[in-house]
């Protein structure tokens, strides 16, 4: 169960090897989380994260194979996780950055990115919501991005997948009002992780640990959407309203 300070006892992580997911899971284990189900495609990587969580104090860590692009398998993966008992909190953290210059010239690659980042997030979201509705409680934390708030020339395919994901989970949150299930949409800015290695950090860049801390606080506060770092919220309000010719020319 989630306690009065919104600390979960059991956590399912989809995309468990991502740096942000690992940081969030670790923070939750440091609090109350004892049963952890880690799902991911890279089995060896998932096992390493499992070991890390056991060392951090989780007493019951299991792993399950999960491929975000294989949407037909999602219901089964999620049912398997819930078969071991209630899941208090699910983290939807899988996703890829893609390669904009390649993807915008390769229809298959662009569609594959959309399948992983958006379609996969939709099918897991529907399955999670169904299970959590039945158990009468739960929280879903989903990793969106500020890139979804307004598509940029430099990464609009990735941005559009996050825009779709973000819209879907906002709507899912509304559909779950009164069910005991809540959704926290997390919009980080540039996060220094393995996924962004080699890229030049944008202004207001952040770290996986800061995102994890913000998630814990967002859950405690009962937030629906958070930006990390917080000031990005105001920045995005401005950026969203810039005329397109201006926005397009911004060095971001």
User: What is the crossing angle of helices 156-175 and 107-114, to 10°?
Assistant: 30
Residue 156 exposed, middle or buried by CB count within 10 Å (0-12, 13-18, 19+): middle
Residues near another protein (CB under 8 A) are 1-7, 9, 31-32, 34, 86, 133-137, 178-180, 217, 220-222
Structure token digits, residue 4: 């009065």
> Least distance from C-beta 134 to another protein, angstroms?
6
User: Residue 47 or 130: which CB sits closer to another protein?
Assistant: 130
Q: Annotated catalytic sites, by residue?
A: 158
> Least distance from C-beta 133 to another protein, angstroms?
8
User: Residue 221 or 248: which CB sits closer to another protein?
Assistant: 221
> Least distance from C-beta 32 to another protein, angstroms?
7
Residue 33: CB atoms within 10 A of its CB come to: 25
**Whole-angstrom distance, CA of residue 20 vs CA of residue 18:** 5
Distances (CA, A) of 9 to 32, 61, 64, 157, 214: 5, 12, 19, 36, 19
User: Residue 138 or 159: which CB sits closer to another protein?
Assistant: 138
């Amino acid at each position: 169960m989630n306690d009065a300070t919104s600390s979960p006892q059991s956590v399912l992580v989809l995309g468990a090897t991502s740096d942000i997911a690992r940081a969030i899971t670790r923070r939750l284990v440091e609090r109350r989380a004892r049963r952890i189900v880690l799902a991911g495609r890279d089995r060896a990587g998932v096992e390493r994260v499992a070991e890390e969580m056991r060392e951090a104090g989780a007493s019951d860590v299991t792993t399950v194979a999960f491929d975000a692009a294989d949407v037909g398998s999602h219901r089964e993966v999620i049912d398997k996780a819930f078969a071991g008992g209630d899941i208090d909190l699910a983290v939807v953290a899988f996703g890829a950055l893609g390669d904009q210059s390649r993807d915008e010239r390769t229809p298959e690659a662009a569609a594959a990115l959309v399948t992983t980042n958006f379609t996969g997030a939709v099918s897991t979201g529907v399955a999670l919501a169904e299970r959590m509705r039945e158990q009468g409680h739960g929280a879903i934390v989903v990793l969106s991005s500020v890139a979804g708030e307004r598509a940029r020339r430099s990464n609009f395919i990735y941005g559009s997948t996050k825009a779709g994901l973000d819209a879907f989970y906002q709507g899912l949150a509304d559909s779950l009002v009164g069910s005991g299930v809540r959704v926290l949409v997390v919009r980080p800015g540039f996060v220094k992780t393995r996924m962004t290695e080699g890229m030049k950090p944008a202004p207001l860049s952040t770290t996986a640990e800061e995102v994890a801390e913000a998630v814990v606080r967002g859950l405690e506060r009962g937030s629906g959407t958070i930006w990390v770092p917080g000031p990005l919220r105001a920045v995005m309000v401005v950026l969203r309203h810039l005329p397109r010719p201006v926005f397009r020319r911004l060095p971001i």
